[in-house]
Structure 1
Amino acid sequence: MLDSLHVVNKAEIIEWLYSLQVLPTEDKSNLDRCGFRGSSCLGLPFNPSKGHGIYHPYDSGHIAMTYTALSSLLILGDDLGLVNKEACLAGLRALQLPDGRYSYENALGQGAGLEAHGGSTFCGIASLCLMGKLEDVFSEKELNRIRRWCILRQQNGFHGRPNKPVDTCYSFWVGATLTLLDIFKYTNFERNRNFILSTQDRLVGGFAKWPDSHPDALHAYFGICGLSLMGESGINEVHPALNVSLRTYKHLQQIHDSWKAKNYEKSSNHLHVST
């Protein structure tokens, strides 16, 4: 987002990220656990390859870490060539429920009948937008109720649930949801911007959850993305559904195009051989 990737060793970070991939064992008994883990805390051997995994009873991918790893690889310019796509999809399918519901508050909770939450509302709306299914799932009346719930989350910045304090990260979670629902322009940009900047640490840099708190990487990133949604100068434009820069999104599109071209070539060769 800040055009500063040159200050890190991209190759080393890419290799480390791949070492956190939970790969299928030879018998594929752990397919429902594949994806990316969040750290190397289990002490498994360093393995950044695409070969067979090593079974460990407590080893499992995590849906948030899988998203984070894939996004980070794209940001770093990787072509995802070492990602075991089939295994990642199998791990995601294992988490899928037969039905999906939203909460009594008209936004989305983390489970059926649970309190609505700014983060889970973003995940649901962003996923549907990426699939082009938002209007298929929600009626216009339902979407207006979600819009109302989200826009009421602003005080100066945004909070994630009613009666909770404002928090830097929700300037992105709720702000991006409102952007996807095409009403972010009706929020108060000046108050939101002032809140985000009030959480910035003037000595060490970064953004915190609240003013006069310690900054951390998560809130620094979402603070910058929240500013990007408002068109802050000097910051790359963020893709509101994918939560990465538009530059990274274009890189992903190029990878998709190359995959499609390879699949088309394989299909053409197969057709030529069969005829």
Structure 2
Amino acid sequence: MLNSERQRADTNLVNANNKMTMPQFAFEQHKNYFLHSLDQLPSKSAIFDNSRITMLYFELIGLDILDALESLTDQHKKEIVNWVYKLQLVPNENCPEQKCGFMGSTTVINLKTYPKCDKYCESNVGMTYMALCILITLGDDLSRVNKSAILWGVGSLQKSDGSFRSNYENGENDLRFMYCSLAICNILNDWSTINVNNAIQFISKCLNYDGAFGQNPGAESHGGSTYCAIASLSLLESLSLVLDKRKLKVLERWVVNRQFNGGFQGRINKDPDTCYSFWLGATLSIIGSLDRIHKNENINFILNNANLLTGGFSKNMDSVPDLMHTCLSLSGLSLFGDDNLNPIIPALNITVRAANFLKHIQKK
């Protein structure tokens, strides 16, 4: 839906104190946007067919942030959990432990050979991270997760420089997959299969002169990579090993300077985008500097990129809503203390409620 077709709040309204009037938060529309997406997606989403679990992650995390999981019946939740477990690859004669974990979709499954593994069946650390978050969010105790195989698989993806590949067969390696790998170890509460020191060294090599992080050593600083680095160090409880007080201040300055026209840009000279309200808002939250930005301006930016007819958030005013930007917009609003939303854990992007459940099952 184009700009002209949107119902947008008037951002020029001011009250007697000359303070900005916030646009409406359309709770019911956003909830229904996720619920409708669980049942049916537009044809343009077919390109994501091999990573359906990604879409499911954004839908369910978004519903949980909205405190709207009760909109799903227990039977529906059970069906979703069972579908997620269908994507788990476990060791057998055709599937070495290096390939174990969760796939992104049933699309890649050869029904003639399933549950045996063929050349198209392979896990991915991003999909495994999302699968675990989905299960925790829906109250599953992870008892059917083959934890030892997943941890062994993650360990086999770590390279000698400390980085992690996305998957066993020719996978990319950068901070995105570093973060997903470490998040998996954190959720499963076991770091024994990876070299933590090498991981920290790789992260430190991705730190740039401007205080932020690139995806790989020497790459341009980026909001997403910076979040992955800071969240990874937070999960490792090793932030101070890479960033002393001076470096934290330089990082803080870089992130704060990414706020532009209310929103956040992912890189210098780029337009602001709602998703970076989470990536960079969470970065500031982790380092204790969230009070350094103009929160109300950012909230206003996010809310003005909502579609009040269909629900959902878009990246900017020239785009249509999508699941990722809707979920991450809500994550950003939650970080900024929106009373309509459940609080989140910035280093994992799950709700505090789900994180408390995770702590409970980890103690068993």
| Same topology, TM > 0.5 | yes
For structure 2, the residue ranges without an aligned partner over 5 or more in a row are 1-64, 162-201
1:94 maps to what in 2?
Answer: 156
Q: Which amino acid aligns with 2:91?
A: P
SS of the residue corresponding to residue 121 of structure 1 reads: helix
Is 1:120 the counterpart of 2:229? The answer is no
Instruction: Give aligned-pair identity as a percent.
Output: 42
RMSD: 1.9
2:174 maps to what in 1?
Answer: none
1:67 maps to what in 2?
Answer: 129
Matched ranges for 1:1-275 at <5 A: 1-8=65-72, 9-26=76-93, 30-45=96-111, 53-99=115-161, 100=202, 101-104=205-208, 105-155=210-260, 156-258=262-364
- After superposition, the C-alpha distances for 1:215-272 in whole angstroms (9 at most, x for unaligned) are 11111111111000111111001111111110001000001111xxxxxxxxxxxxxx
Deviation at 1:103, TM superposition (A): 4.1
- After superposition, the C-alpha distances for 1:82-134 in whole angstroms (9 at most, x for unaligned) are 11111211222222233302143432221111112211211121121122111
Report if aligned partners of 2:109, 2:120 keep a CA contact under 8 Å in 1: no
Q: Which shows bigger deviation, 94-103 or 212-221? A: 94-103
CA distance in 2 between counterparts of 1:174 and 1:46 reads: 45
The count of aligned residue pairs is: 253
- After superposition, the C-alpha distances for 1:33-64 in whole angstroms (9 at most, x for unaligned) are 222111112133499xxxx9522113221121
Q: Which amino acid aligns with 2:291?
A: K
SS of the residue corresponding to residue 234 of structure 1 reads: coil
The 3 A distance-change label for structure 1 pair 183 and 46 is farther
Q: Which shows bigger deviation, 32-41 or 213-222? A: 32-41
CA distance in 2 between counterparts of 1:46 and 1:152 reads: 54
Q: Which amino acid aligns with 1:7?
A: S
The 3 A distance-change label for structure 1 pair 232 and 92 is same
Report if aligned partners of 2:344, 2:351 keep a CA contact under 8 Å in 1: yes
CA distance in 1 between counterparts of 2:302 and 2:269 reads: 19
CA distance in 2 between counterparts of 1:46 and 1:11 reads: 25
2:16 maps to what in 1?
Answer: none
The 3 A distance-change label for structure 1 pair 45 and 23 is farther
SS of the residue corresponding to residue 41 of structure 1 reads: helix
**TM-score (ref. length: structure 2):** 0.66
Deviation at 1:26, TM superposition (A): 3.2
Q: Which shows bigger deviation, 216-225 or 97-106? A: 97-106
Q: Which amino acid aligns with 1:205?
A: G
Q: Which shows bigger deviation, 10-19 or 29-38? A: 29-38
Structure with larger RCO (C-alpha < 8 A, sep 6+): 2
CA distance in 1 between counterparts of 2:160 and 2:214 reads: 16
**TM-score (ref. length: structure 1):** 0.86
